[in-house]
Amino acid sequence: MTIVPPAPDEPRRPDGPRNPGDAWVVADDGTRYWGRFGAAGLLALDAERGILMQHRVSWSHFGDTWALPGGARHEHESAADAALRESAEEAGVPPTAVRPRLLSTLDLGVWTYGTLLADVVEPFEPVISDPESRELAWVPVDEVDRHPLHPGFADSWPALRDLLQVRPAIVVDAANVVGSVPDGWWRDRSGAASRLLARLAQWARGGIDGAGLDLPDARWYPEVSVVLEGAARDAPDEPGLHVVRAEAAGDDTIVAEAARLVTAGRTVTVVTADRELSVRVADAGAAVRGPGWLLDRMPGRA
C-alpha cells in the first residue's frame, strides 16, 4: 500500500487547504481509493422521497455516476462523524435533520468505507455546496439501480437495500435493571434512574454491535425507550432517549410500549428479568434480554 497526494491540477475545495486525509491509498494491485484514513458517506432515507443521491461531476473519480454524499475521513474522525460532516459540506444536510440507524463498514485491509444509514426526521432540501456535484436528488428506493451507479455503491447497494427494512428498538424496564445492582438505589430511586438514563444515553450514541441483537453485521443505533415508574419518574430526560413515565403499573406500560413499536415495524428487544413480563412482551412480538446483557455493554459499570 502507498499513499499518493492528489495531483496539483486536481480541483480543490474553495474553502481552504486540503485536509491530510485528502490523498489516494494505492493498493498493491494498483487500485486507488480516496481517503488516507478511509472514507464515509451518508445514506439519508426519507420515508416519502427515498434516498438522497449525488450525481458526480465528470472530472471526479468515476465521474458521471450516482452515489451517496461523502468523502475522505479526517485523522481520528469516526466514520459516522465523517459521513455527517461530508454530507453537510457537499449537500447541505443539517446534522439534526437525520437520525443514525446503522453504520455498515467495508474493510479492504488497506482502506475502509463506512456507510451511515440515517432516517430523515426533519425534511430538508439538499444544496449543492461544492464543485463535486452535478445534481442532488431524492431517488425512490425502487429506482436507485436504474441510475448509472458508482461501482463501489453498486456493489454495496443490494445489501444496504435489505437493511432499510430493519429498524431495531429497545425497551428498558428501568426498575428491573436498576434493582439488579445493589448500589443504594432503594435510598434514592430518582437518582438511580438518572444515573441509568445518563449511561443509556452515552451507550445509545456509540451504537451496538449487531450480533448483540441478532441483527446483520453493522454498528446499530437502536431507538431506546426507558420506562420509569414510581419515584423514579422524577428523573430528568436525556437527549436521544424516549422516556416513558408510567402512570400506573410499570409492567403494563412496558407491554404497551413494546406493542406500539412492534406495530410501527420495529424489531423490538425488551430488557427485563421479570418472568411474567417476559412472557407478556414475547406475546406482543418482542425479544427479551436480561439486565446483565445491557449492563455489560453500557459504559461506567461499577
Distances, alpha carbon 27 to alpha carbons 59, 70, 79, in Å: 22, 21, 21
Lowest mean pLDDT among 180-184, 256-260, 281-285: 180-184
Residue 16 scores a pLDDT above 50: no
Claim to verify: residue 153 and residue 176 sit in the same structural domain: no
pLDDT of residue 133: 82
Give the residue-averaged pLDDT of 155-183: 94
Q: For residue 63, which phi and psi values (nearest 5 degrees)?
A: -65, 160
- Between 9 and 118, the higher pLDDT residue: 118
pLDDT of residue 117: 98
pLDDT of residue 302: 45
pLDDT of residue 212: 87
Q: How many CB atoms lie within 10 A of CB 243?
A: 19
Ordered alpha helix ranges (H), the chain: 79-91, 151-163, 174-179, 189-206, 250-263, 275-283, 291-295
**Dihedral of CA 139/111/210/301: which sign?**
negative
Distance between CA 91 and CA 86 in Å, rounded? 8
pLDDT of residue 14: 46
Q: Is residue 183 part of a domain?
A: yes
Q: What percent of the chain has pLDDT over 90?
A: 78
Kindly report, residue by residue over 42-77, the tens digit of the pLDDT.
999 999 999 999 998 877 777 789 999 999 999 999
**In 3-state terms, what secondary structure has residue 181?**
coil
End position of a domain, from candidates 133, 163, 193: 163
Claim to verify: residue 137 and residue 253 sit in the same structural domain: no
Q: Is residue 156 part of a domain?
A: yes
Claim to verify: residue 268 and residue 213 sit in the same structural domain: yes
DSSP string, 102-165: EEEEEE-SS-EEEEEEEEESS-------STTEEEEEEE-GGGGGGS-B-HHHHHHHHHHHHHTT
Distance of CA 191 to the CA centre of its chain: 29
Give the residue-averaged pLDDT of 283-287: 97
Cβ contacts of 177 within 8 Å, gap of 6 or more: 196, 271, 272, 291, 294, 295
Q: What CATH number corresponds to the domain at position 138? A: 3.90.79.10
Give the confidence band of 183 by pLDDT, cuts at 50, 70, 90.
confident
Claim to verify: residue 34 and residue 18 sit in the same structural domain: yes
Distance between CA 73 and CA 35 in Å, rounded? 6
Q: Is residue 301 part of a domain?
A: no
- Mean pLDDT, the chain, rounded, equals 91
pLDDT of residue 75: 93
End position of a domain, from candidates 147, 163, 179: 163
Distances, alpha carbon 151 to alpha carbons 64, 129, 147, 222, in Å: 12, 24, 12, 30
Residue 180 scores a pLDDT above 90: no
**Grid cell in block for residue 3:** 499513499
Give the residue-averaged pLDDT of 114-141: 93
End position of a domain, from candidates 163, 190, 219: 163
Give the residue-averaged pLDDT of 102-123: 96
Give the residue-averaged pLDDT of 101-126: 96
Helix, strand, coil proportions of the chain in percent (round to 5)?
A: 35, 30, 40
Task: Supply the DSSP symbol for 249.
Answer: -
- In the chain, the number of structural domains is 2
Q: Is residue 263 part of a domain?
A: yes
Kindly report, residue by residue over 159-169, the tens digit of the pLDDT.
999 999 999 99
Kindly report, residue by residue over 198-227, the tens digit of the pLDDT.
999 999 999 999 988 999 999 999 999 999
Residue 5 scores a pLDDT above 90: no
Give the residue-averaged pLDDT of 175-198: 88
Residue 2 scores a pLDDT above 70: no
Q: What CATH number corresponds to the domain at position 179? A: 3.40.50
Claim to verify: residue 37 and residue 181 sit in the same structural domain: no
